[in-house]
């Protein structure tokens, strides 16, 4: 008699339990609400026909979790990751067990692994030192925090427009220190094998219609500075002249100081001439006869020496370096066709031939301990000659200095991109997602985790944004999919159902009491 009402009370109580759990987890990241589903109960007769039986109540047939998408909310933690669409994060426990979750609140442990609050490891693919993702069996993702290894420049491309209206410079020959001898200068930072930066300067000199000579002058000053330093460090006359200059400073005699200054300049100039004439024994240093003649003329008399004498030996050294700075090396000739594009065929027919790309070798001064010289394959892809102002469009090179990891974040495809202090970036790994034929068959474990079961089918592993897998978003989380307003309304309904079933029991009790009183 009381079966129907009692089953109704149990069903209503179970509904309130589910609603209460939903409400309690309305702020739990990645939580999926549940719904109590019911079935009516009938008792069959012995011959298998129910006849006109009124039924014996209700039973809870299933507590179904609703795997609908929760709202995406932004956070300030780059390791907070949300899934927009299908799929679950694949997690492994410290014992190796595999779990799945929609809660993307992660952190970095002391060993560099990405874990959740329970200490389970986020799974994915690792990358090698070159940033190539190594796909295969997913493993716990470990962030490699080692410095980015420097890469020497091996290739460079200069892309610019050279004004076809430019005039041939009236002043010759080319001299990197004289802007009147060239039409355009560009600079590009290049790097040696240890990541030390060097400036590669290229100069463009129009020589005829549609024809430009290209010079490299970046290493001229460096070679000159190295030559000056070698002269000062290895010549006893220069050292004696410096000592005499310092002694003159102590006397305060202006005439003596001036003469000592002049003597030092003469000694340094003589030492430099000796070094330049001994170029075959100076590794990486080249000089033209014009350079030697220029320096010789500058130091053939006291008047010429006095013209570049400084106020102290350091300034004299700088001026000496300027006096013998390499005028530059011609490295190529660019020929353009009548449409302003590079005419590589005409360049190949030159004597000597000019084939793109061509090689530039740069001696490194001072010695940094890196591979020397720096050899760069240089090209001019995209360079034009139009009737507009000369301008540099995009000059690129493939080298970079070392850098330490500053930050990292996951992209929509799950690739974790590390950003380094040298401005470079490199993939550190890729997060994988797992999906199932029947997500309703997953077994909940608590802590927003599920495990696969025979009802769910095996996990299907894949990269985000592929197949049935959703996309990822860094610095955000997926909030609970509980609709708090709907749950409060459902709670009122469940309360009414509970009261109604209680009333049927009360009525049945009154009926029985009436029967008892018939005696």
What pairing do the DSSP bridges indicate for beta strands 211-216 and 358-362? unpaired
Position with higher pLDDT, 352 vs 165: 165
- pTM (predicted TM-score): 0.68
Q: Which of 18-27, 282-291, 400-409 has the lowest mean pLDDT?
A: 282-291
pLDDT for res 311: 66
Q: Identify the structural domains of the chain with CATH numbers, from first to last.
A: 3-69+481-517 (no CATH), 72-148+404-478 (no CATH), 155-397 (2.60.98.20)
**pLDDT tens-digit series, residues 35-90:** 888 787 766 655 555 556 667 778 777 888 889 999 999 999 999 999 999 999 99
Is pLDDT above 60 for 386? yes
**Number of Cβ within a 10 Å radius of residue 122:** 26
DSSP 439: G
How far CA 433 is from CA of 7, 87, 408, in Å, comes to: 42, 6, 19
Tokens of 514: 């009436």
Average pLDDT of span 170-175: 84
Confidence of residue 277 (pLDDT cuts 50, 70, 90): low
**pLDDT tens-digit series, residues 198-239:** 888 899 999 999 999 998 864 444 555 555 555 555 677 878
What pairing do the DSSP bridges indicate for beta strands 460-462 and 433-435? antiparallel
Average pLDDT of span 296-308: 49
Average pLDDT of span 433-437: 95
Distance CA 417, CA 421 (A): 13
DSSP 209: T
Which residues, in sequence order, are CB contacts of 252 under 8 Å at separation 6+?
none
Q: Which of 183-187, 239-243, 282-286, 371-375 has the lowest mean pLDDT?
A: 282-286
Long-range contacts formed by 501-508: CB under 8 A, 24+ apart: 501/5, 501/6, 501/8, 501/9, 501/11, 501/12, 502/5, 502/9, 504/4, 504/5, 504/8, 505/2, 505/5, 505/6, 505/9, 508/1, 508/2, 508/5
Please give the distance of CA 240 from its chain centroid, rounded to a whole number.
Answer: 54
């Amino acid at each position: 008699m009381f079966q129907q009402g009692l089953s109704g009370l149990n069903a209503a109580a179970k509904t309130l339990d589910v609603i209460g759990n939903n409400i309690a987890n309305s702020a739990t990241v990645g939580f999926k609400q549940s719904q109590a589903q019911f079935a009516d109960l009938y008792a069959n007769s012995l011959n298998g026909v129910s006849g006109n039986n009124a039924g014996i109540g209700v039973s809870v047939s299933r507590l179904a979790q609703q795997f609908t998408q929760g709202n995406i909310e932004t956070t300030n933690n780059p390791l907070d990751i949300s899934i927009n669409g299908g799929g679950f994060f694949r997690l492994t426990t410290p014992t190796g067990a595999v779990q799945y979750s929609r809660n993307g609140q992660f952190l970095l442990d002391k060993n560099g692994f990405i874990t959740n609050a329970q200490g389970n490891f986020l799974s994915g693919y690792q990358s090698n030192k070159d940033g190539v993702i190594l796909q295969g069996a997913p493993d716990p993702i470990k962030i490699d925090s080692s410095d980015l290894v420097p890469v020497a420049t091996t290739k460079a491309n200069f892309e610019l427009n050279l004004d076809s209206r430019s005039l041939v410079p009236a002043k010759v020959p080319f001299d990197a220190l004289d802007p009147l001898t060239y039409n355009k200068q560009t600079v590009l930072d290049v790097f040696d094998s240890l990541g030390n930066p060097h400036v590669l300067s290229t100069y463009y000199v129009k020589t005829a219609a549609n024809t430009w000579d290209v010079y490299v002058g970046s290493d001229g000053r460096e070679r000159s500075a190295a030559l000056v330093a070698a002269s000062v460090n290895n010549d006893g006359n220069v050292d004696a002249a410096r000592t005499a200059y310092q002694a003159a400073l102590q006397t305060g005699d202006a005439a003596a100081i001036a003469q000592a200054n002049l003597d030092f300049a003469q000694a340094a100039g003589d030492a430099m001439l000796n070094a330049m004439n001994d170029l075959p024994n100076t590794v990486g240093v080249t000089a033209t006869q014009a350079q030697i003649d220029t320096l010789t003329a500058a130091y053939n008399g006291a008047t010429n020496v006095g013209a570049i004498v400084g106020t102290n030996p350091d300034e004299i050294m700088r001026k000496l370096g300027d006096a013998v700075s390499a005028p530059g090396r011609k490295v190529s000739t660019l020929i353009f066709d009548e449409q302003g594009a590079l005419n590589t065929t005409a360049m190949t027919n030159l004597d000597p031939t000019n084939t793109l790309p061509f090689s530039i070798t740069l001696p490194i001064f001072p010695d940094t301990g890196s591979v020397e010289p720096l050899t760069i394959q240089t090209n001019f892809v995209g360079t034009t000659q139009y009737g507009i102002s000369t301008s540099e469009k995009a000059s690129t090179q493939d080298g970079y200095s070392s850098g330490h990891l500053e930050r990292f974040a996951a992209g929509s495809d799950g690739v974790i991109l590390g950003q380094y202090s040298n401005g470079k970036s490199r993939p550190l790994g890729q997060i994988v997602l797992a999906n199932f034929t029947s997500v309703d068959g997953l077994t909940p474990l608590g802590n927003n985790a599920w495990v696969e079961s025979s009802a769910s089918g095996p996990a299907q592993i894949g990269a985000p944004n592929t197949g049935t897998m959703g996309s990822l978003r860094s610095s955000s989380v997926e909030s609970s999919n509980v609709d708090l307003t709907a749950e409060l309304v459902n709670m009122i309904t469940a309360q009414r159902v509970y009261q109604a079933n209680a009333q049927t029991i009360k009525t049945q009790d009154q009926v029985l009491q009436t029967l008892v009183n018939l005696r």
